[in-house]
Protein backbone atom coordinates (compact mmCIF):
# COMPACT_ATOMS: atom_id res chain seq x y z
CA UNK A 1 0.00 0.00 0.00
CA UNK A 2 1.29 3.46 -0.84
CA UNK A 3 2.84 5.21 2.14
CA UNK A 4 0.11 7.80 2.75
CA UNK A 5 -2.93 5.74 1.70
CA UNK A 6 -4.99 4.86 4.76
CA UNK A 7 -7.52 2.58 3.03
CA UNK A 8 -7.65 0.94 -0.39
CA UNK A 9 -10.28 -1.14 -2.21
CA UNK A 10 -8.70 -3.73 -4.50
CA UNK A 11 -11.06 -5.37 -7.06
CA UNK A 12 -13.89 -5.39 -4.51
CA UNK A 13 -17.21 -6.87 -5.60
CA UNK A 14 -20.32 -7.09 -3.45
CA UNK A 15 -24.04 -7.76 -3.87
CA UNK A 16 -26.83 -8.64 -1.47
CA UNK A 17 -27.64 -11.42 -3.89
CA UNK A 18 -25.44 -12.98 -6.58
CA UNK A 19 -27.52 -11.69 -9.49
CA UNK A 20 -27.52 -8.01 -8.45
CA UNK A 21 -24.09 -6.54 -7.81
CA UNK A 22 -23.81 -3.18 -6.08
CA UNK A 23 -20.03 -3.03 -6.53
CA UNK A 24 -18.21 -4.69 -9.43
CA UNK A 25 -14.40 -4.97 -9.12
CA UNK A 26 -14.11 -1.55 -7.50
CA UNK A 27 -10.68 0.03 -7.04
CA UNK A 28 -9.88 3.24 -5.18
CA UNK A 29 -7.66 4.57 -2.41
CA UNK A 30 -8.05 7.28 0.22
CA UNK A 31 -5.05 9.24 1.43
CA UNK A 32 -4.30 9.80 5.08
CA UNK A 33 -5.90 12.95 6.57
CA UNK A 34 -7.97 13.65 3.43
CA UNK A 35 -11.66 14.57 3.47
CA UNK A 36 -13.75 12.90 0.77
CA UNK A 37 -17.41 12.88 -0.23
CA UNK A 38 -19.03 9.55 -1.12
CA UNK A 39 -21.54 10.45 -3.83
CA UNK A 40 -24.12 8.48 -5.80
CA UNK A 41 -27.80 7.94 -6.41
CA UNK A 42 -30.07 6.61 -3.66
CA UNK A 43 -29.50 2.86 -3.57
CA UNK A 44 -26.14 2.99 -5.39
CA UNK A 45 -24.34 1.50 -2.39
CA UNK A 46 -22.94 4.44 -0.41
CA UNK A 47 -23.96 3.05 2.97
CA UNK A 48 -22.83 -0.40 1.78
CA UNK A 49 -19.31 1.03 1.26
CA UNK A 50 -19.37 2.15 4.90
CA UNK A 51 -20.57 -1.27 6.09
CA UNK A 52 -17.71 -2.89 4.18
CA UNK A 53 -15.24 -0.48 5.76
CA UNK A 54 -16.50 -1.18 9.28
CA UNK A 55 -16.62 -4.94 8.76
CA UNK A 56 -20.40 -5.26 9.07
CA UNK A 57 -20.24 -6.72 5.54
CA UNK A 58 -17.43 -8.59 3.80
CA UNK A 59 -16.61 -8.44 0.08
CA UNK A 60 -17.76 -11.26 -2.20
CA UNK A 61 -14.46 -10.81 -4.05
CA UNK A 62 -11.39 -8.64 -3.68
CA UNK A 63 -9.77 -7.12 -0.61
CA UNK A 64 -9.92 -3.97 1.52
CA UNK A 65 -6.53 -2.86 2.82
CA UNK A 66 -6.04 -0.55 5.83
CA UNK A 67 -2.95 1.23 7.05
CA UNK A 68 -1.35 -0.57 10.00
CA UNK A 69 -3.29 -0.15 13.28
CA UNK A 70 -5.78 2.24 11.65
CA UNK A 71 -8.94 2.62 13.75
CA UNK A 72 -12.26 3.31 12.07
CA UNK A 73 -15.55 4.61 13.51
CA UNK A 74 -18.89 5.61 12.02
CA UNK A 75 -21.60 8.13 12.84
CA UNK A 76 -24.64 6.45 11.32
CA UNK A 77 -27.72 8.18 9.92
CA UNK A 78 -29.98 7.18 12.80
CA UNK A 79 -29.64 5.62 16.23
CA UNK A 80 -30.21 1.84 15.97
CA UNK A 81 -33.78 1.18 17.04
CA UNK A 82 -32.68 -1.36 19.63
CA UNK A 83 -30.54 1.33 21.34
CA UNK A 84 -33.27 3.96 21.72
CA UNK A 85 -34.17 2.72 25.21
CA UNK A 86 -30.51 2.84 26.33
CA UNK A 87 -29.29 5.45 28.77
CA UNK A 88 -26.56 7.86 27.63
CA UNK A 89 -23.99 5.80 29.51
CA UNK A 90 -25.20 2.51 27.97
CA UNK A 91 -25.23 4.10 24.50
CA UNK A 92 -21.57 5.14 24.65
CA UNK A 93 -20.53 1.85 26.23
CA UNK A 94 -21.44 0.17 22.92
CA UNK A 95 -18.45 1.97 21.35
CA UNK A 96 -15.95 -0.15 23.28
CA UNK A 97 -15.26 -3.86 23.49
CA UNK A 98 -13.75 -3.50 26.97
CA UNK A 99 -15.01 -1.80 30.12
CA UNK A 100 -13.97 1.87 30.22
CA UNK A 101 -13.37 3.00 33.81
CA UNK A 102 -13.17 6.65 32.71
CA UNK A 103 -16.23 6.47 30.41
CA UNK A 104 -18.09 9.28 32.21
CA UNK A 105 -15.16 11.67 31.70
CA UNK A 106 -14.84 10.66 28.06
CA UNK A 107 -18.55 11.39 27.57
CA UNK A 108 -18.16 14.83 29.15
CA UNK A 109 -15.16 15.63 26.93
CA UNK A 110 -16.80 14.51 23.69
CA UNK A 111 -20.03 16.38 24.48
CA UNK A 112 -17.99 19.59 24.45
CA UNK A 113 -16.60 18.72 21.00
CA UNK A 114 -20.08 18.27 19.50
CA UNK A 115 -21.41 21.39 21.29
CA UNK A 116 -24.03 19.52 23.31
CA UNK A 117 -24.62 20.22 26.97
CA UNK A 118 -23.58 17.13 28.93
CA UNK A 119 -26.84 15.30 29.65
CA UNK A 120 -27.75 13.22 32.67
CA UNK A 121 -26.05 9.88 32.12
CA UNK A 122 -29.25 8.00 32.94
CA UNK A 123 -31.34 9.91 30.37
CA UNK A 124 -32.70 7.64 27.63
CA UNK A 125 -31.64 8.21 24.02
CA UNK A 126 -35.27 8.18 22.82
CA UNK A 127 -35.89 11.31 24.93
CA UNK A 128 -33.48 13.41 22.86
CA UNK A 129 -34.64 15.40 19.83
CA UNK A 130 -33.61 14.36 16.32
CA UNK A 131 -30.96 17.10 16.21
CA UNK A 132 -29.58 16.09 19.60
CA UNK A 133 -29.44 12.46 18.48
CA UNK A 134 -27.45 13.56 15.42
CA UNK A 135 -24.87 15.14 17.74
CA UNK A 136 -24.84 12.04 19.94
CA UNK A 137 -24.11 9.88 16.89
CA UNK A 138 -21.12 12.06 15.99
CA UNK A 139 -19.95 11.94 19.60
CA UNK A 140 -20.30 8.14 19.56
CA UNK A 141 -17.85 7.97 16.65
CA UNK A 142 -15.42 10.56 18.05
CA UNK A 143 -15.22 8.97 21.50
CA UNK A 144 -13.44 6.06 19.80
CA UNK A 145 -10.61 8.38 18.62
CA UNK A 146 -10.64 6.96 15.06
CA UNK A 147 -8.04 7.43 12.33
CA UNK A 148 -10.84 7.15 9.74
CA UNK A 149 -14.13 8.90 10.56
CA UNK A 150 -17.20 7.89 8.56
CA UNK A 151 -20.17 10.28 8.56
CA UNK A 152 -23.48 9.11 7.08
CA UNK A 153 -25.79 12.11 6.46
CA UNK A 154 -24.45 14.01 9.52
CA UNK A 155 -26.47 17.21 8.93
CA UNK A 156 -29.85 15.50 9.04
CA UNK A 157 -31.97 17.05 11.82
CA UNK A 158 -29.27 19.59 12.76
CA UNK A 159 -30.35 23.21 13.06
CA UNK A 160 -28.31 25.99 11.44
CA UNK A 161 -26.09 26.42 14.49
CA UNK A 162 -25.44 22.68 14.59
CA UNK A 163 -24.45 22.55 10.92
CA UNK A 164 -22.14 25.55 11.33
CA UNK A 165 -20.46 23.95 14.35
CA UNK A 166 -20.02 20.62 12.55
CA UNK A 167 -18.60 22.34 9.45
CA UNK A 168 -16.06 24.28 11.51
CA UNK A 169 -15.06 21.15 13.42
CA UNK A 170 -14.46 19.16 10.22
CA UNK A 171 -12.44 21.96 8.64
CA UNK A 172 -10.04 21.77 11.60
CA UNK A 173 -10.14 17.98 12.03
CA UNK A 174 -6.73 16.54 11.24
CA UNK A 175 -7.68 12.94 10.39
CA UNK A 176 -9.30 11.11 7.46
CA UNK A 177 -13.02 11.76 6.89
CA UNK A 178 -15.40 10.06 4.46
CA UNK A 179 -18.84 11.65 4.40
CA UNK A 180 -22.15 10.79 2.74
CA UNK A 181 -24.40 13.84 2.49
CA UNK A 182 -26.88 15.47 0.14
CA UNK A 183 -26.17 18.93 1.58
CA UNK A 184 -24.10 20.45 -1.24
CA UNK A 185 -23.13 23.66 0.59
CA UNK A 186 -21.99 21.67 3.64
CA UNK A 187 -19.87 19.35 1.49
CA UNK A 188 -18.28 22.16 -0.48
CA UNK A 189 -17.07 23.82 2.71
CA UNK A 190 -14.52 21.18 3.67
CA UNK A 191 -14.24 18.20 1.28
CA UNK A 192 -11.42 17.98 -1.24
CA UNK A 193 -12.59 15.22 -3.54
CA UNK A 194 -15.38 12.81 -4.44
CA UNK A 195 -15.76 9.04 -4.68
CA UNK A 196 -18.60 8.67 -7.18
CA UNK A 197 -20.62 5.43 -7.18
CA UNK A 198 -22.28 4.71 -10.52
CA UNK A 199 -25.53 2.81 -9.97
CA UNK A 200 -25.44 1.51 -13.56
CA UNK A 201 -21.84 0.36 -13.98
CA UNK A 202 -21.35 -0.51 -10.26
CA UNK A 203 -17.93 1.16 -10.40
CA UNK A 204 -16.38 3.91 -8.27
CA UNK A 205 -14.56 6.87 -9.84
CA UNK A 206 -12.38 9.23 -7.84
CA UNK A 207 -12.37 12.98 -8.55
CA UNK A 208 -10.20 15.70 -7.00
CA UNK A 209 -11.47 19.18 -6.24
CA UNK A 210 -14.34 20.82 -4.41
CA UNK A 211 -17.81 19.32 -4.57
CA UNK A 212 -19.40 21.76 -7.02
CA UNK A 213 -16.45 21.50 -9.42
CA UNK A 214 -16.69 17.70 -9.38
CA UNK A 215 -20.43 17.75 -10.11
CA UNK A 216 -19.76 20.03 -13.10
CA UNK A 217 -16.91 17.76 -14.25
CA UNK A 218 -19.14 14.67 -14.13
CA UNK A 219 -21.87 16.47 -16.08
CA UNK A 220 -19.34 17.64 -18.69
CA UNK A 221 -17.91 14.14 -19.01
CA UNK A 222 -21.37 12.69 -19.62
CA UNK A 223 -21.98 15.24 -22.39
CA UNK A 224 -18.55 14.63 -24.02
CA UNK A 225 -19.13 10.88 -24.05
CA UNK A 226 -22.60 11.30 -25.53
CA UNK A 227 -21.29 13.56 -28.28
CA UNK A 228 -18.42 11.18 -29.10
CA UNK A 229 -20.80 8.24 -29.34
CA UNK A 230 -23.25 10.22 -31.47
CA UNK A 231 -20.44 11.02 -33.94
CA UNK A 232 -19.24 7.40 -34.00
CA UNK A 233 -22.77 6.09 -34.48
CA UNK A 234 -23.23 8.38 -37.48
CA UNK A 235 -19.93 7.19 -38.98
CA UNK A 236 -20.87 3.56 -38.34
CA UNK A 237 -24.25 3.93 -39.99
CA UNK A 238 -22.71 5.72 -43.00
CA UNK A 239 -20.21 2.90 -43.48
CA UNK A 240 -22.88 0.22 -43.04
CA UNK A 241 -24.95 1.86 -45.77
CA UNK A 242 -21.91 1.81 -48.07
CA UNK A 243 -21.16 -1.83 -47.15
CA UNK A 244 -24.68 -2.84 -48.14
CA UNK A 245 -24.26 -1.02 -51.46
CA UNK A 246 -20.72 -2.27 -52.33
CA UNK A 247 -21.39 -5.85 -51.23
CA UNK A 248 -23.80 -6.19 -54.13
CA UNK A 249 -21.06 -5.29 -56.59
CA UNK A 250 -18.21 -7.45 -57.76
CA UNK A 251 -14.38 -7.37 -57.68
CA UNK A 252 -12.81 -4.34 -56.04
CA UNK A 253 -16.13 -3.18 -54.63
CA UNK A 254 -16.37 -6.31 -52.48
CA UNK A 255 -12.83 -5.74 -51.18
CA UNK A 256 -13.83 -2.17 -50.29
CA UNK A 257 -16.88 -3.49 -48.45
CA UNK A 258 -14.60 -5.83 -46.46
CA UNK A 259 -12.32 -2.92 -45.55
CA UNK A 260 -15.33 -0.87 -44.42
CA UNK A 261 -16.45 -3.75 -42.17
CA UNK A 262 -13.09 -3.59 -40.41
CA UNK A 263 -13.52 0.16 -39.96
CA UNK A 264 -17.02 -0.39 -38.49
CA UNK A 265 -15.60 -2.93 -36.02
CA UNK A 266 -12.91 -0.45 -34.96
CA UNK A 267 -15.47 2.33 -34.53
CA UNK A 268 -17.72 0.08 -32.44
CA UNK A 269 -14.75 -0.78 -30.21
CA UNK A 270 -14.12 2.94 -29.71
CA UNK A 271 -17.66 3.51 -28.45
CA UNK A 272 -17.42 4.58 -24.81
CA UNK A 273 -19.57 3.53 -21.90
CA UNK A 274 -21.38 6.76 -21.20
CA UNK A 275 -21.54 7.52 -17.48
CA UNK A 276 -25.25 7.89 -16.95
CA UNK A 277 -25.96 10.73 -14.60
CA UNK A 278 -28.13 10.20 -11.53
CA UNK A 279 -31.75 9.68 -12.44
CA UNK A 280 -34.15 12.23 -11.04
CA UNK A 281 -37.73 11.59 -9.97
CA UNK A 282 -40.37 12.84 -12.38
CA UNK A 283 -42.62 15.83 -11.68
CA UNK A 284 -45.57 14.79 -9.55
CA UNK A 285 -48.74 16.16 -7.96
CA UNK A 286 -50.11 15.20 -4.53
CA UNK A 287 -53.90 14.95 -4.98
CA UNK A 288 -55.82 16.80 -2.27
CA UNK A 289 -58.72 15.57 -0.15
CA UNK A 290 -61.84 17.67 -0.74
CA UNK A 291 -62.40 19.24 2.68
CA UNK A 292 -63.98 22.63 3.27
CA UNK A 293 -63.91 23.27 7.02
CA UNK A 294 -60.91 24.55 9.01
CA UNK A 295 -58.66 21.52 9.25
CA UNK A 296 -56.56 22.39 12.30
CA UNK A 297 -56.99 24.63 15.34
CA UNK A 298 -53.95 25.19 17.59
CA UNK A 299 -54.57 27.04 20.88
CA UNK A 300 -51.40 26.04 22.77
CA UNK A 301 -48.17 24.10 22.32
CA UNK A 302 -45.74 22.40 24.68
CA UNK A 303 -42.07 23.36 24.48
CA UNK A 304 -38.94 22.25 26.36
CA UNK A 305 -36.86 24.95 28.09
CA UNK A 306 -34.09 24.17 30.58
CA UNK A 307 -35.12 20.50 30.47
CA UNK A 308 -38.63 21.41 31.68
CA UNK A 309 -41.89 21.21 29.70
CA UNK A 310 -43.87 24.45 29.42
CA UNK A 311 -47.18 25.06 27.67
CA UNK A 312 -47.52 28.29 25.69
CA UNK A 313 -50.67 29.83 24.25
CA UNK A 314 -50.89 30.44 20.50
CA UNK A 315 -53.75 31.05 18.08
CA UNK A 316 -53.42 29.30 14.70
CA UNK A 317 -56.10 28.12 12.29
CA UNK A 318 -55.26 26.13 9.16
CA UNK A 319 -57.54 25.82 6.14
CA UNK A 320 -56.91 24.75 2.55
CA UNK A 321 -53.69 26.22 1.07
CA UNK A 322 -52.53 27.38 4.52
CA UNK A 323 -48.87 26.53 5.16
CA UNK A 324 -47.36 26.71 8.66
CA UNK A 325 -43.55 26.66 9.14
CA UNK A 326 -42.45 25.69 12.65
CA UNK A 327 -38.92 26.63 13.72
CA UNK A 328 -36.77 26.66 16.84
CA UNK A 329 -33.47 25.27 18.16
CA UNK A 330 -32.72 21.55 18.49
CA UNK A 331 -34.31 20.08 21.61
CA UNK A 332 -37.15 22.58 22.02
CA UNK A 333 -39.80 20.03 21.02
CA UNK A 334 -40.54 20.49 17.31
CA UNK A 335 -40.67 16.79 16.41
CA UNK A 336 -42.67 15.98 19.54
CA UNK A 337 -45.20 18.64 18.58
CA UNK A 338 -45.55 17.23 15.05
CA UNK A 339 -45.95 13.70 16.38
CA UNK A 340 -48.72 14.79 18.78
CA UNK A 341 -50.32 16.76 15.94
CA UNK A 342 -50.32 13.72 13.66
CA UNK A 343 -51.74 11.53 16.43
CA UNK A 344 -54.27 14.26 17.35
CA UNK A 345 -53.39 13.74 21.02
CA UNK A 346 -52.13 17.20 22.02
CA UNK A 347 -54.54 18.97 24.39
CA UNK A 348 -53.93 22.28 22.63
CA UNK A 349 -54.56 21.01 19.09
CA UNK A 350 -57.72 19.90 17.30
CA UNK A 351 -57.69 18.26 13.88
CA UNK A 352 -61.20 18.27 12.44
CA UNK A 353 -62.73 14.83 12.23
CA UNK A 354 -62.44 13.29 8.78
CA UNK A 355 -59.24 15.06 7.73
CA UNK A 356 -56.88 12.62 6.01
CA UNK A 357 -53.39 13.23 7.48
CA UNK A 358 -50.16 12.45 5.63
CA UNK A 359 -47.21 12.38 8.05
CA UNK A 360 -43.51 12.36 7.10
CA UNK A 361 -41.52 11.35 10.18
CA UNK A 362 -37.83 12.28 10.13
CA UNK A 363 -36.82 8.77 11.27
CA UNK A 364 -39.40 6.91 9.12
CA UNK A 365 -40.72 5.18 12.26
CA UNK A 366 -44.24 5.61 10.92
CA UNK A 367 -43.46 3.00 8.24
CA UNK A 368 -43.81 -0.73 8.89
CA UNK A 369 -40.28 -1.97 8.21
CA UNK A 370 -41.50 -5.58 7.90
CA UNK A 371 -43.92 -4.76 5.06
CA UNK A 372 -42.80 -4.93 1.47
CA UNK A 373 -42.61 -1.58 -0.31
CA UNK A 374 -45.56 -2.76 -2.43
CA UNK A 375 -47.66 -3.53 0.68
CA UNK A 376 -46.72 -0.17 2.20
CA UNK A 377 -48.07 1.64 -0.86
CA UNK A 378 -51.15 -0.60 -1.05
CA UNK A 379 -51.97 0.15 2.62
CA UNK A 380 -52.81 3.79 1.82
CA UNK A 381 -55.15 2.80 -1.03
CA UNK A 382 -57.97 1.57 1.22
CA UNK A 383 -60.68 2.78 -1.16
CA UNK A 384 -59.29 0.61 -3.97
CA UNK A 385 -60.06 -2.71 -2.25
CA UNK A 386 -57.57 -5.55 -2.68
CA UNK A 387 -54.94 -3.89 -4.85
CA UNK A 388 -53.36 -7.21 -5.83
CA UNK A 389 -56.57 -8.36 -7.52
CA UNK A 390 -57.71 -4.96 -8.80
CA UNK A 391 -55.91 -4.56 -12.10
CA UNK A 392 -56.41 -0.81 -12.39
CA UNK A 393 -55.33 -0.17 -8.80
CA UNK A 394 -52.25 -2.38 -9.19
CA UNK A 395 -51.29 -0.54 -12.38
CA UNK A 396 -51.79 2.82 -10.64
CA UNK A 397 -49.61 1.76 -7.68
CA UNK A 398 -46.77 0.60 -9.91
CA UNK A 399 -46.94 3.72 -12.08
CA UNK A 400 -46.66 5.98 -9.02
CA UNK A 401 -43.83 3.87 -7.58
CA UNK A 402 -41.95 4.18 -10.87
CA UNK A 403 -42.21 7.98 -10.66
CA UNK A 404 -40.18 7.76 -7.44
CA UNK A 405 -37.60 5.29 -8.82
CA UNK A 406 -39.16 2.40 -6.88
CA UNK A 407 -38.86 -0.21 -9.60
CA UNK A 408 -40.50 -3.62 -9.71
CA UNK A 409 -37.67 -5.44 -7.95
CA UNK A 410 -37.58 -2.87 -5.12
CA UNK A 411 -41.33 -3.16 -4.54
CA UNK A 412 -40.82 -6.75 -3.44
CA UNK A 413 -38.21 -5.78 -0.84
CA UNK A 414 -39.04 -5.08 2.78
CA UNK A 415 -39.18 -1.41 3.71
CA UNK A 416 -36.45 -1.97 6.30
CA UNK A 417 -34.02 -3.09 3.58
CA UNK A 418 -34.44 0.08 1.50
CA UNK A 419 -31.83 2.83 1.72
CA UNK A 420 -32.83 5.85 3.82
CA UNK A 421 -33.22 7.88 0.62
CA UNK A 422 -35.53 5.24 -0.86
CA UNK A 423 -37.62 5.27 2.33
CA UNK A 424 -38.02 9.02 1.88
CA UNK A 425 -39.17 8.62 -1.72
CA UNK A 426 -41.55 5.86 -0.58
CA UNK A 427 -43.18 8.36 1.80
CA UNK A 428 -43.85 10.80 -1.03
CA UNK A 429 -45.20 8.01 -3.22
CA UNK A 430 -47.59 7.13 -0.37
CA UNK A 431 -48.81 10.74 -0.26
CA UNK A 432 -49.65 10.64 -3.97
CA UNK A 433 -51.76 7.52 -3.43
CA UNK A 434 -53.19 8.62 -0.07
CA UNK A 435 -54.82 11.91 -1.20
CA UNK A 436 -54.29 13.75 2.12
CA UNK A 437 -56.03 16.93 3.27
CA UNK A 438 -53.25 17.80 5.72
CA UNK A 439 -49.51 17.17 5.32
CA UNK A 440 -47.29 17.13 8.42
CA UNK A 441 -43.65 17.11 7.34
CA UNK A 442 -40.75 16.68 9.78
CA UNK A 443 -37.48 17.38 7.95
CA UNK A 444 -38.72 16.10 4.56
CA UNK A 445 -35.34 16.69 2.89
CA UNK A 446 -33.53 14.22 5.16
CA UNK A 447 -31.69 11.53 3.17
CA UNK A 448 -33.13 12.74 -0.16
CA UNK A 449 -30.76 13.22 -3.12
CA UNK A 450 -30.41 16.97 -3.69
CA UNK A 451 -31.38 16.46 -7.36
CA UNK A 452 -34.88 15.47 -6.26
CA UNK A 453 -35.47 18.39 -3.89
CA UNK A 454 -36.60 21.05 -6.44
CA UNK A 455 -39.20 18.59 -7.79
CA UNK A 456 -40.45 17.77 -4.29
CA UNK A 457 -40.60 21.47 -3.38
CA UNK A 458 -42.62 22.19 -6.53
CA UNK A 459 -45.11 19.43 -5.64
CA UNK A 460 -45.51 20.79 -2.11
CA UNK A 461 -45.96 24.32 -3.47
CA UNK A 462 -48.82 23.05 -5.66
CA UNK A 463 -50.45 21.02 -2.87
CA UNK A 464 -54.00 22.24 -2.31
CA UNK A 465 -54.46 21.14 1.29
CA UNK A 466 -53.04 22.43 4.58
CA UNK A 467 -49.38 21.89 5.45
CA UNK A 468 -47.26 21.99 8.61
CA UNK A 469 -43.49 21.68 8.19
CA UNK A 470 -40.27 21.65 10.15
CA UNK A 471 -37.13 22.05 8.02
CA UNK A 472 -33.61 23.34 8.56
CA UNK A 473 -32.89 23.70 4.83
CA UNK A 474 -33.43 27.38 3.87
CA UNK A 475 -33.12 26.85 0.10
CA UNK A 476 -35.86 24.22 0.19
CA UNK A 477 -38.15 26.29 2.43
CA UNK A 478 -37.72 29.32 0.14
CA UNK A 479 -39.34 27.41 -2.74
CA UNK A 480 -42.63 27.01 -0.80
CA UNK A 481 -45.05 29.85 -0.02
CA UNK A 482 -45.59 29.76 3.76
CA UNK A 483 -48.20 32.14 5.13
CA UNK A 484 -48.02 31.27 8.84
CA UNK A 485 -44.98 30.92 11.08
CA UNK A 486 -44.38 29.60 14.60
CA UNK A 487 -40.95 30.04 16.21
CA UNK A 488 -41.00 27.94 19.36
CA UNK A 489 -37.81 29.59 20.55
CA UNK A 490 -39.46 33.01 20.86
CA UNK A 491 -42.59 31.99 22.76
CA UNK A 492 -42.86 33.80 26.11
Angle, alpha carbons 47-48-52 (nearest 5°): 120
Residue of 81, 102, 107 whose CA lies nearest to 92: 107
Q: Which CATH class is domain 296-490?
A: alpha beta
pLDDT of residue 376: 93
Q: Which residue has the higher pLDDT, 39 or 74?
A: 74
Q: Is pLDDT above 90 for 340? A: no
Question: Which band of pLDDT confidence, cut at 50, 70 and 90, is reported for residue 78?
Answer: confident
Residues 6 or more apart in contact with residue 436 via CB below 8 angstroms: 286, 288, 289, 356, 357, 358, 465
Indicate the domain borders of the chain.
Answer: 5-215, 222-269, 296-490
pLDDT of residue 153: 85
pLDDT of residue 485: 93
What residue ranges in 132-238 does DSSP mark as E strands? 148-152, 176-180, 193-197, 204-208
Q: What is the DSSP string of 322-381?
A: -EEEEE--TTSSHHHHHHHHHHT--TTEEEPTTPPEEEE-TT-TTS-TTSBHHHHHHTT-
Domain pair 5-215 / 296-490, same fold: yes
Burial 64-85 (b: 16+ CB within 10 A, else e): bebbeeeebbbbbbbbeeeebe
Question: Which band of pLDDT confidence, cut at 50, 70 and 90, is reported for residue 277?
Answer: very low
Lowest mean pLDDT across 177-186, 309-318, 418-427: 177-186
> 362-390, pLDDT tens digit by residue?
888 888 999 999 999 998 887 766 777 77
For residue 21, what are the β-bridge partners?
15
Q: Is pLDDT above 80 for 492? A: no
The Cα 239–Cα 261 span in angstroms is 8
Q: Is pLDDT above 80 for 442? A: yes
The CATH code for residues 5-215 is 3.40.50.300
The Cα 262–Cα 269 span in angstroms is 11
Amino acid sequence: MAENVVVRFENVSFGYDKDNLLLDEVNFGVRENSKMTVMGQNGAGKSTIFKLLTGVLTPDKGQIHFAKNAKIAIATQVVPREWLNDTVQEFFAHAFTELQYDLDKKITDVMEIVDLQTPLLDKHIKDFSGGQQARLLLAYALIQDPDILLLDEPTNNLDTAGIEHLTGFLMMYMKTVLVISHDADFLNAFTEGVLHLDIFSHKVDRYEGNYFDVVEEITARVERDRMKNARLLKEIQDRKDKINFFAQKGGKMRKLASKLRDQVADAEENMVDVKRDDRTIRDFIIPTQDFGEPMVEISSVKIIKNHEAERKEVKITLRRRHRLLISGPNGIGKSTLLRLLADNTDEGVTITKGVNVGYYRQDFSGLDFDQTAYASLASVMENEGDVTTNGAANEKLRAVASQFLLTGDLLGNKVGSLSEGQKGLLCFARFVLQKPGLLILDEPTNHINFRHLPIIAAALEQFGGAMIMVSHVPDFVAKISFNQFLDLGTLQ
